[in-house]
Each structure stands twice: as C-alpha cells, then as structure tokens.
A and B are shown apart, each in its own frame.
Chain A
C-alpha cells in the first residue's frame, strides 16, 4: 500500500531589492506627512493661537521620523531575518513615543486673556493606544522566533507566487 505523496512545495515570488527600495521610498512620503507633517502643523497652529501643549515640536519630529524610517526599512527587509527585529524596533519606538504623552498625563490649554484654562487627561486614550504597538511588538517577536526556527518558512505566504 502506497503512502500519500508529500505536499508539493509552495513557491514564492519576492520582489527585487530595487523594487522594494523604490516602493519603500514612495511609501515613506505619506508616512512622513502623517507622522511628522500633520502633528507639527497641529502643534504650530495651537502654539500660534496661544495654547500650550506639553510636547515639543522637536520630540514629535524626531519620533515621527524614527518611526517612518524604521517602518520603511522593515518593508524593504521584509523577506530577510531582519523583518521581525525591525517590527519590534518600530513598536518599541512607538511605545516610547506614546509614553511621553502618557507621562505628560494632562494636556493644558490656557487662554490667559479670558482667564480660562482647560486640562484634558489623555492617559486613558494613550493607554488604549499603547495596546496597538504592544500587539505589533508581539507579532514581531513571533516572526523573529519563526525566522530563527524555520528561515524562509513564511515567504510563500508573504510573497505568494
């Protein structure tokens, strides 16, 4: 009696490095707009209207650039073993960025000419948001373990033929 034939190996089709760099570069532009441009514009708008926000433009710019660049590197290096560690790095920087808001705890806005001050507590929302990079970090960790145990095992599913 013959046993069942072994499953046919599944192929994969990884785009070339050049293509991935080009696509990553195109992807970087909207990321910088969303992570740096819009927050800096919002902070500048609030500051010019006399409202004080306890997060500096420098912090927003540096953190936004770091997340955008790491995310692009992760995209470019997705077929390699670096994908998992880079996913964890993006998540770690995002968690650190959100924690600066978390420890600021309250966004204070003042309108001195009207004697009005407003405080908005952000710790609840930031706490919810922190779960997002935490889950992404866990995904990166699992992918790192998978790549260590079975290199290229995921490629047929990430880059189906």
Chain B
C-alpha cells in the first residue's frame, strides 16, 4: 500500500540525468569563465592605472667608442593575477634609421602586489666611424622602439610596442678646430690650435683631450693635449700653442683628437684644418 505522504520515486532516467549534468557543468563553467574574465579586466585596469614610473636616466662612456645609456623604471603589479614571462626590449636607430644598439630586460615574473625596479642598459657605438660616429658631435633625433611581452592572468599573452623619437645631446656638439699661422716659438715653429665645442650630453666630461695635427701628406706635425672638465650643458673653448716639426705644413690637413677619461680612449671624428 502506497503512502500518500511519500509519492512514487521521481528519479529521472539515466539519459535525462546525463544531459542535465552536461548542461549544469556547462553553466558552471560559463559562470567561472565570466567571473575570471571580469576579474582579469578589472585587475588589468588597476595595473594600467598604476603604470610604470620612470626613475633615473644616465649615460656614460664605458669602453672605447661606446656610451652606455641606462634607464630605470618602477613597475607595479596592483592586479589580482601574476604577470609572467615579462620582458622589455629597446632598439635605437639614428636619424638615418641605421641600427645603433639595443638592450633588454627579463623575462621575469611579477607576482600580484609586487613592485619591480627595471633597469635597461644599452650601448651606443660612438667611435670615429660607423653609424654612431655623428653621435659624438651632432645633436640629433633618435628613433627609439620599446616593446614588451608578458602573459597576464596565466592565459592572456599581451604585447605592447611603443615607437618614439628622443633627442640626443652630443657630448662634443659642434666641434670646431682652427689652426693659426705658424710662428717662431721658444724652441722652433709653433702653431696656435683652438678647439671648441658644447657638451650637450647628460653627463659631465672630465679627462684629457689629446690631439695631433696631421699634414695633408699624412705625417703628424705635432700634438698636445688639453685638460678637460666640462659639466653637462657647458662649453669648451681653449687655445694652445703646439710645436710642429719644421717643414710640416698643417694647412689642408686634419686634426685628430681623442677624449681620454678613466683609462678609456674615445676617438673623435677627424676635423679638417682650413
């Protein structure tokens, strides 16, 4: 006898339960993915709002014919999710779009809530020849490309590329030399040599400016050096009488100079003597 308080079993058939299970799992998955997406978007907005902050920027001669440029960034991950495989690359071209140098950072992982200082260093060749030679004596606009890659919230790869122009201040901007008329000095023939330039770089210069007067035929007529102490943004204008070999004419020749500092020798582009 059936009990009116307990109706017959209403257990659905197996296939019905299987279809229902698929639908329920599908719905739960959809909700989870939407919650994940919403939180990832909110989290990404927080990361973008905090943004990287620029720190120190420095440049210095580090080896023969090379300037090392370093820039610091502080990057905060204020989001809920880690930023993994985070890397940054920088490439610099001169105003003729010739390749000058590049630098990179990473890859690293920034956990949620982390503040990561990032230092990117790249070396620019500033020798007496090559595409970077004019960097020593000519202010110019450099093409700087910065691009970064990362994987955000475990699943979302993100790449950002920024192409911008940066002005470059030459450490020996507008370098000019002049050689005066030879005259009889204390022990022989001497010529007054004048060198002038502006230090438009972001670093001070301290060292020696060595030079030699080379005749049009090739042999060196003589040479000397100037002590150099030129703060960033200042000018240099000095004249020195240089003893030259008898019979050696500087007219039509070149003045070959090199900046020597901390054991490094930076050759400057040869300047024609009028």
Contacts and interface: CB of A to CB of B under 8 A. Distances in A.
Interface of A: 5, 7-8, 10, 106, 114-122, 124-125, 128-129, 131-133, 135-136, 138-140, 142-143, 145-146, 149-150, 153-154, 156-157
B25 interface: yes
A157 B157 contact: no
Contacts of B157: 106, 119-121, 124
Interface of B: 2, 7-10, 12-13, 15-16, 18-20, 22-23, 25-26, 29-30, 33, 36-37, 154-164
A139 B29 CA distance: 14
Contact of B26 (A8, A116, A139): A139
Contact of A125 (B10, B30, B156): B156
A135 B156 contact: no
B29 A131 contact: yes
A148 to B, nearest CB: 10
Given A139-B22, A153-B13, A156-B10, 18 more contacts: A116-B160, A116-B161, A117-B161, A119-B157, A119-B160, A120-B156, A124-B154, A128-B29, A131-B26, A136-B26, A139-B23, A140-B19, A142-B18, A142-B22, A150-B15, A153-B16, A154-B12, A157-B12
A109 to B, nearest CB: 10
Contact of A10 (B10, B25, B37, B163): B10
B22 A138 contact: yes
A132 B30 contact: yes
Given A115-B163, A132-B33, A146-B13, A120 B19 contact: no
15 contacts: A8-B2, A118-B158, A119-B160, A120-B157, A124-B156, A125-B156, A136-B22, A139-B23, A139-B26, A140-B19, A142-B22, A145-B15, A153-B15, A154-B16, A157-B16
A118 B149 CA distance: 10
A153 B18 CA distance: 14
B165 to A, nearest CB: 9
Given A129-B33, A132-B33, A146 B16 contact: yes
Contacts of B25: 135
Give me the 10 closest cross-chain CB pairs, A-B, nearest first.
A124-B155, A121-B157, A139-B22, A135-B26, A146-B15, A142-B19, A115-B163, A119-B159, A7-B8, A139-B19
Nearest to B147: A117
Contact of A7 (B9, B154, B158, B162): B9
A10 B19 contact: no
A21 to B, nearest CB: 23
Nearest to B16: A154
Given A118-B159, A125-B33, A150 B2 contact: no
A132 B30 CA distance: 6
A122 B156 contact: yes
